[in-house]
Copies of this chain bind each other. A is one copy, B any other.
Amino acid sequence: MPLPEKALIARIRRSATNGRRVVTGIGDDSAVLAIPKGHQALVTTDFSLEGVHFRREWHPPDSVGHRCLARGLSDIAAMGGEPITAFLSLGLPRDLPQKWVDAFVRGLLKLAADYGVSLAGGDTAESPAGVLADIIVLGSVPRGKAVLRSGARPGDRIYVTGGLGASAATLKLLFAGKGRIRARDFQQHFYPNPLIDVGRFLRENNLASAMIDISDGLSTDLSHICEESGVGAEILEEAIPKAIIGRPAREVDLRAALHGGEDYELLFTAKRGKRIPRKIAGVGITQIGRVTRGREIMFINQYGVGQELHSQGWEHFRR
- Give the B-binding residues of A (Cβ under 8 A): 1, 23-24, 27-35, 40-47, 49-53, 74-76, 78-79, 81, 87, 89, 91, 120-130, 132, 134, 136-139, 141, 143, 146, 148-150, 211-213, 228, 313, 315
Contacts and interface: CB of A to CB of B under 8 A. Distances in A.
Given A30-B139, A79-B30, A91 B128 contact: no
Contact of A129 (B40, B128, B211): B128
Contacts of A43: 30-31, 33, 43, 87, 120-121, 136, 138
A48 to B, nearest CB: 9
The binding surface of chain A is classed by DSSP as: strand
A125 B45 contact: no
Copies of this chain per assembly? 2
B44 A29 contact: yes
A129 B313 CA distance: 23
11 contacts: A1-B315, A27-B149, A29-B44, A30-B76, A32-B141, A33-B43, A43-B43, A43-B121, A45-B134, A46-B123, A47-B89
Given A28-B148, A34-B40, A228-B27, A52 B136 contact: no
A143 B134 CA distance: 28
Nearest to A130: B128
